[in-house]
Amino acid sequence: MKTITRIIALLLVGIMLFNLAGCYGSFALTRKLYDWNGSVGDKWINSAIMWLFLIIPVYNAATFIDFFLLNTIEFWTGSNLVTMEDGEQSIKYVSDADKTYKITMIKNNLKITETEGPDKGKSITLTYSPENGNWTMNDGSNSTVIANMSKDQLKLFYPEGNSRNIDLSR
């Protein structure tokens, strides 16, 4: 049983590394935070804020979000949700076997629509709300919060009703 578990774990790590290969990205969220930090005041205030953001792990959370979410989206679509201006839009098409998807990105919003395949016309929309830190998924008939970011915590909500907290300060 231990051997099977180890093989599955190694396969999952391999798949994850393969999928993330080449996802260097621009780390736009982390850079925006760093640029904002550098514009607050003089060198003493900027340094104090930087230390505070390192202790509270604000920089860690921004880097985590960039690495696992925003840079991956940027890799596949060529655009980053954080760097988009209001009204700016990016559209990309992705094909896999007998399916084609249209990915439409606008600021804080990602819409994925199947344009060819068995579920042609169906779509889901992922929306980020900076006010409350929620990521919401909408399939046209149901709207569900799938994640929440607050300070140094990421909470993922699963369809079965359970949730998982991830401490981003580590």
pLDDT tens digits along 114-162? 899 898 998 888 888 888 888 888 888 888 888 888 777 778 888 788 8
Residue 16 has pLDDT above 80, yes or no: no
Whether residue 112 is contained in a domain is answered as: yes
Look up residue 8 and give its DSSP letter: H
pTM here? 0.51
Whether residue 46 is contained in a domain is answered as: yes
Whether residue 7 is contained in a domain is answered as: no
Whether residue 60 is contained in a domain is answered as: yes
Which residue range is the domain that position 100 belongs to?
24-167
Whether residue 13 is contained in a domain is answered as: no
Q: Are 114 and 121 within 8 A, CB to CB?
A: yes
Whether residue 3 is contained in a domain is answered as: no
Strands (E), 2-142: 89-96, 99-106, 109-116, 123-129, 134-138
Whether residue 11 is contained in a domain is answered as: no
Q: Are 116 and 98 within 8 A, CB to CB?
A: yes
List 88's β-bridge partners, or say none.
none
Whether residue 157 is contained in a domain is answered as: yes
Give just the sign of the alpha carbon dihedral 7, 9, 15, 17: negative
Distance CA 50, CA 113 (A): 41
Residue 21 has pLDDT above 70, yes or no: no
Q: Are 168 and 54 within 8 A, CB to CB?
A: no
Q: pLDDT tens-digit profile of 72-112?
A: 777 766 666 666 677 878 787 877 778 888 888 888 888 88
Tally of domains within the chain: 1
Structure tokens at 72: 């991956």
For residue 115, the model assigns a pLDDT of: 92
